[in-house]
Structure 1
Amino acid sequence: MAPLVLIAETSIALFVLFRRPTERISMRLGDWLLAATATYAPLLIIPSEEIWPAIEPLAVALVTFGNVVQISGKLFLRRSFGIAPANRGIKRDGMYRFVRHPIYAGYLFTHIGILMVMPSLVNLVIYAIGWWAQILRIDAEERLLSQDPDYREYLTQTRWRLVPGLY
């Protein structure tokens, strides 16, 4: 699992450093605060004494699956990756054929798996705050991207934001 996390986090640093320039980026402070909250809140979780061995294999599978999904999304975006809402080109292939925000979908599965292995009220609250910000972040990104006719067409082709059939 550690190699997946290493790839996931190193790719963020590289893609942000070498990202493609954009003329359409949100300058709204709230959008940047949402991006920061959604990105950094999960770093606040704490180890839990409570362990549920019966669900550990499912939790590990979710964490692994989530990491693979979000890494795939990042590798497909490459230089179009960013933290705050911006338009660096519309992606429609790869994981983006299935959901409009596969990186966030991958994080969702990973976070559910981690919460299953480290269950606590504190961790649940931290993830709830992070995911509240993440949903608002998705709305902010889509508000900015919807100004592009290519993205509006993409919305008709890829219905789901995070999880096909749910959201």
Structure 2
Amino acid sequence: MTQQAKREFGQLFQSYLTNVVLFLFAILIYRKSFYYSGFLGPEVQDALLWIVGLYIVLAIPLEMLLPRGQRRLVGKGLIALRATMRFLSEGWRYIRRAPLDASNPPVMKKEEKVAILFLLVKFYFLPVMMQLFVGNFHSITYYWRLFGGTTDIHDFMLRVMFPFTISLFYFVDTSYFVFGYSVEYPLARNKVRSVEPTLFGWLVTLICYSPFYEVSAKYLFWSSDTSGYLSSLTATYAMRIASIVFLAIYLWATLALGTKCSNLTNRGIVTSGPYAYIRHPAYFFKALGWWVAAIPYIVTTDNFLLATLSLGGWTVIYFFRALTEEWHLLQDPDYQEYCKVVRWRFIPYVL
């Protein structure tokens, strides 16, 4: 091994150790903190530990498999750690000089901001998405056990087949996001180019997920239910089929994103699948599915106005998620070109 190769491996190993320490620290928080120890089930806790274990075993071999020019000798963990320490040091010196000398305030480079913000994205969203993934798996197994439990075709379709299909779709959807939050690898073509830079962009995303969802749901209660019934069997089937179709298009958007799946990040512009027709298919068809599934609650209760306003509030939140995502992605020249080709955000030739 040449001296240069030794230096490069030393850098790689230092970066690897930093990531291991950060990941183990995250595991400690997930297991010992009051919130996460109650929120995450034992299966999720074990799965997260397995992910870290796989990283410990496979990270260096997988990095060494890459061509020399693609190896990430300084990973995001080490970049974030160095940037934080330097920023604190420079910030302390700046505070000591101020107000007599307010020059040279501490700043961070774009690469450093991306590293820190993506680690925050990873550490927050991975356990949340893993919890949803495991929950969807249990739903699939539950409905699978009901197969053959009834001889009535309508009872089977409405009580078993439709909810099984919805659970399966969400299971596949969350599996892609679990991978996206777990893995950033050159061969997966999911390098993080940038992370949402605005507080508002983070806010409208985080309020859709625990624990922030529990707060927002107190003011915007949830009235959408894919297991609801209407007054006639035909109308119920039409509602359920429409929900499945809209959810299928939402899943199609996830499949098009592939390994790039993750909130608040730009990991390369996707132009295939439903993204070839509109710019925000996932947000639009997910919200459309909500409205269809909310029809039984809206038309059969006395809370028509409250239900409509609440679901309208969630729709507005998703609208702003789409807008803030677009404002973020417009910093990328590739997305600017994409917008010239795909002109419509939600509905072709309309909006």
The answer, yes or no, to whether TM exceeds 0.5 is yes
Q: Does the CA contact (< 8 Å) of 2:287 and 2:318 recur in 1?
A: no
For residue 150 of structure 1, give the secondary structure of its aligned residue in structure 2.
Answer: helix
Asked if 1:25 is matched to 2:195, the reply is yes
1:142 is matched with 326
**Partner Cα separation in structure 1 for residue 192 and residue 266 of structure 2:** 6
2:28 is matched with none
Matched residues, number: 166
Tell me which amino acid in the other structure corresponds to 1:156.
K
**Partner Cα separation in structure 2 for residue 145 and residue 60 of structure 1:** 34
Tell me which amino acid in the other structure corresponds to 2:222.
L
1:45 is matched with 223
Alignment of 1:15-164 (within 5 A): 15-19=176-180, 20-38=190-208, 44-45=222-223, 51-53=230-232, 55-84=235-264, 86-119=265-298, 120-164=304-348
User: Radius of gyration: which is bigger?
Assistant: 2
Over 6 Å off, 4+ runs = none
Q: Does the CA contact (< 8 Å) of 1:145 and 1:151 recur in 2?
A: yes
Q: Does the CA contact (< 8 Å) of 1:7 and 1:71 recur in 2?
A: no
| TM-score normalised by the chain length of structure 1 | 0.83
Following TM superposition, by how much is the alpha carbon of 1:101 offset from its aligned partner in structure 2, in angstroms? 1.2
Unpaired runs of 5+ residues, structure 2, are 1-161, 181-189, 299-303
Which is further off, 111-120 or 95-104? 111-120
Following TM superposition, by how much is the alpha carbon of 1:50 offset from its aligned partner in structure 2, in angstroms? 8.9
Unpaired runs of 5+ residues, structure 1, are none
Following TM superposition, by how much is the alpha carbon of 1:21 offset from its aligned partner in structure 2, in angstroms? 4.3
* Distance 1:57-1:145 versus aligned 2 partners, 3 A rule: same
| TM-score normalised by the chain length of structure 2 | 0.43
Q: Does the CA contact (< 8 Å) of 1:45 and 1:122 recur in 2?
A: no
RMSD: 2.7
* Distance 1:93-1:23 versus aligned 2 partners, 3 A rule: closer
Task: Show CA shifts across 1:51-93 (max 9, x none).
Answer: 4537434422321111110011111112211222x21111111
**Partner Cα separation in structure 2 for residue 147 and residue 130 of structure 1:** 27
* Distance 1:11-1:33 versus aligned 2 partners, 3 A rule: farther
**Percent of aligned pairs sharing the same letter:** 21
